[in-house]
Amino acid sequence: MLALFVAKCGVDVAENVWQPLFFLGVCYSLILPATPFHRLYAKLVLLSFCGSGLGILLGVVLDPLNMTITGADTVLDSPPPTLHSWCSTVSREGALRRGGRRVCTQPC
Amino acid sequence: MHAAVLTALVMSIFLNGTIGVTLAQANAMGAARHVWRVMFTRWGQEMLLVGELQASTHHAYQVVIIKSIVGYYGFFDASDASDEHAHAAWEAYSASYERRCTLVMLLIALALRVLAFLCLWFSPQLNQAWR
């Protein structure tokens, strides 16, 4: 599990570097902000780093096979978009609950 | 200058998607405003807007911009302060905003990763408990 977590973080580091660079390379000459390029790039790298942390958390909690139906079910079934409804949906269809029902034939 | 601020606002819409949360709305959230307080998109929005302000205009004019345009966007409340007090508060805020925003966003990113690691590490125990 430690190797899986390190791999998730390591894969995201490369994207945190090149994706803001690509975005700024396309959009900086269009929007012409007063902030210099390198300072804006540093802020976007930081934003991307935080966003990838949230993505890692959701990728751990939610089962990727159930990700689409979980999102649709969260929107359709819960009248108010509250945190409780999201948590109940995750606990009902997420990876943890689904792994709990699964019959484990090999040592986890 | 106003075009630069509006450019930063439009950039924040595409980057964050949270520009619609004003200070009044954040105060009206109740207990959920603490969630808004630790959202990294809020701090990224602050960094973009304040950085654009600092790079684009004179320091004395930034207070006017804050009070007239972005004073209600949730990162600096200059609505209930007098001019001198608002100027001093803005100077104190603007001097350390970038370091503070960087530290807060790094802490949020590390906390999200620690939480993800804990969920991954204790998933067998949680599966046993929730069966």
Query: Each residue of B58-73: pLDDT tens digit?
Result: 877 777 777 666 554 4
Cα–Cα distance measured from residue B100 to residue B110, given in angstroms and rounded to the nearest whole number: 15
Indicate yes or no: CB of B51 within 8 angstroms of CB of A61: no
Query: Which is more confident, A104 or A21?
Result: A21
Q: What is the mean pLDDT of chain B?
A: 74
The beta strands (E) that lie in chain A are given as none
Check A57 against B120: CB less than 8 A apart.
Answer: no
Q: B15 contacts in A (CB within 8 Å)?
A: 44, 47
Kindly state the percentage of chain A with pLDDT values over 90. 13
DSSP state of B80: T
Q: What pTM value is reported for the model?
A: 0.67
Tell me whether residues B112 and A101 touch, CB distance under 8 A: no
> Which CA distances in Å does A3 have to A9, A56, A94, B96, B129?
10, 14, 22, 38, 25
ipTM: 0.70
Domain ranges of chain B: 2-129
- Minimum distance, in Å, between the CA of residue A28 and any CA atom of chain B: 11
Q: Do B10 and A108 touch (CB under 8 A)?
A: no
CB B73 within 8 A of CB B22: yes
Most A-contacting residue of B15, B18, B128 (CB-CB within 10 A), to test interface = B15
Amino acid letter at A102? R
- Would you call A22 an interface residue with chain B, using a CB distance cutoff of 8 Å? no
B8 and A33 within 8 Å at the Cβ level: the answer is yes
